A and B are shown apart, each in its own frame.
Chain A
């Protein structure tokens, strides 16, 4: 059975599944309250001891996370409500869970991302002590296993021995989590968002964290194909490593600009700006995860990336919610969301939300070389309306004496109406081809539907012809044109893209080296 997800850290892993959610905590109650108290004290000491061992081997971010957890665990203020509950007759495990859940609720309720994110750390602390309390103790994952479950705690990642391979497969999870960051830096393959996969599978699985997916109970043929992809990936990665630090040039000496696609400002922490030509696509949906973000939160996020990029361009896409990316309190439930109120359509329908983003972008623009683009443009009036709102907000900031700058405003070319009649959009400062959506709309094949995946190919002549026409139009009219879909980072598609004239690609950071290596192989 094959399940699609999102790659959080590229690579391949083949091995037995280790069920993260099955670590049953079976606590056996004690005779007296004093014994309960002693059991909890011992469990806290065991958990603290484990963290102390882990911190010895940790550096950087991992060490910071552990140091914070050790400090929290060593603070009586954390455990005293639990001990008070034990005195009233509660068993140690219930008392601890109740006390920590109250603490977690406090963090979850914060309106600031930084504090809200700490809830995951407190959950981790809670579970470590619960595991130490249970008779089963803490079951370590066998070497080379694929850790599978809803989500994974940072300490679980750090405790696991990754030297003989293995990987992580999560039904929920995020590419921006602590663990995803750690996995990328250690080269551990990781896939998130495997939402539709079964709850407690067992046996051997094949984790494809290059394309984002997992095969459960694989057949002989699937295993053979997987091993081939896996060894070809290793070979490509080894070879590609040498290309990362160099500019992208084809065999014929043609220069190609390679930028990166990012989703969370912290994505840039792991990228050396010298290895890319800027940010070709910064998504902003992540900011709209739980609640609508305020102007300050957005401004800080945009500014961070602009300052990181220095004088290299950063193209930020205004919020592209809707479709397969619902945002509570913003998007609407629709029967056919890919063809509904998404992207710029939603932003124009909710101007009070859109204007907050516009002001944050105008203010951030002074900190670097910002470009802004609108997603899902279908008719030129949408572009004009959005651009007019930028001008209005600029005037507001000017009256208030707030420092700001008007960035060049461009459009995503992803609705066929734009690709077919690009001459209607010459007002736009630049075009960025969103090949994922363009392909699904041209082929009428949803990106998230495995049953029509064979139709969803950017290399279908109909899609390529449209991309070629838009590229030729842009070159003729001197409108800068780039492509930021998955095709940009796919070594199999890059030759076609360069042949039809594209010289500006934007890829996932993990694909940077491979994309440059693929470009070096092409005689265009």
Chain B
């Protein structure tokens, strides 16, 4: 894809990009028309950020540097919003640990 916006953010959520955070992440990504992808390294592999199956398959634990890139309509807004969501710990307390 012809990338028009890209950013990185560190996942601080205790259990990483796990079930509940992934639901929030993909829901938010789907609100943008732009094509959005994530990766655990700058050179990929890249995963569709609107697919929970792909996002979960990335298995990003706490401490991962998450790469987010987008292209098309609202690419910048999409990357900004998703980076913010990760920074806000997916709107869950930092100590929220879900073990089961």
Contacts and interface: CB of A to CB of B under 8 A. Distances in A.
Contact of B99 (A64, A110, A113): A113
B59 A115 contact: yes
A77 B26 CA distance: 13
Contacts of A304: 97, 99
Given A71-B52, A75-B52, A117-B100, A307 B95 contact: yes
A414 to B, nearest CB: 28
B53 A77 contact: yes
B41 interface: no
Nearest to B63: A296
Interface in B6-26: 14-16, 18-20, 22-23, 26
Contact of B20 (A68, A76, A78, A265): A68
B26 A106 contact: no
Contacts of B26: 71, 75
Given A71-B23, A118-B19, A181 B100 contact: yes
A392 interface: no
Greatest chain A CB density within 10 A among B14, B23, B48, B56 is at B56
B97 A300 contact: yes
B76 interface: no
A264 interface: yes
Interface in A278-334: 300-301, 304, 307
Contact of B15 (A67, A72, A78, A114): A114
B42 interface: no
B57 interface: yes
A106 B23 contact: no
Interface string A238-272: 00000000000000000000000000111000000
B20 A178 contact: no
A118 B56 contact: yes
Interface in B43-90: 48, 51-54, 56-57, 59, 61
A436 interface: no
A68 B23 contact: yes
B20 A75 contact: no
B61 A112 contact: yes
A407 to B, nearest CB: 22
Contacts of B23: 67-68, 71
Given A75-B52, A75-B53, A264 B99 contact: yes
A275 interface: no
Nearest to A114: B15
A68 B17 CA distance: 13
Contact of B100 (A76, A77, A176, A301): A176
A212 to B, nearest CB: 21
A72 B56 CA distance: 10
A114 B52 CA distance: 16
Interface string A116-139: 011001000000000000000000
A177 interface: yes
A305 to B, nearest CB: 11
Contacts of B14: 300
Interface string A200-228: 00000000000000000000000000000
A307 B97 CA distance: 12
Contacts of B54: 77
A114 B20 contact: no
Given A71-B52, A77-B54, A178 B100 contact: yes
Given A68-B19, A75-B51, A77-B53, A112 B59 contact: yes
A186 to B, nearest CB: 16
A304 B51 CA distance: 31
Greatest chain B CB density within 10 A among A264, A300, A301 is at A300
Contact of A177 (B19, B27, B100): B100
A103 B19 contact: no
Interface string A84-113: 000000000000000000010010001011
Contacts of A64: 19-20, 98
Contacts of A67: 20, 23
A268 B51 CA distance: 33
A177 B100 CA distance: 7
Contacts of B18: 114-115, 118
Contacts of B22: 68, 71
A74 to B, nearest CB: 8
Given A64-B19, A115-B18, A78 B100 contact: no
13 contacts: A68-B19, A68-B52, A77-B51, A106-B57, A112-B59, A112-B61, A113-B99, A114-B15, A117-B100, A176-B100, A265-B97, A304-B97, A304-B99
Question: Which 9 A/B pairs are nearest by Cβ-Cβ distance?
Answer: A77-B53, A266-B99, A77-B51, A68-B19, A114-B15, A71-B52, A75-B53, A78-B53, A71-B23
Given A72-B56, A112-B61, 13 more contacts: A64-B20, A71-B52, A75-B51, A75-B53, A77-B53, A77-B54, A103-B53, A118-B18, A121-B19, A176-B100, A177-B100, A181-B100, A266-B100
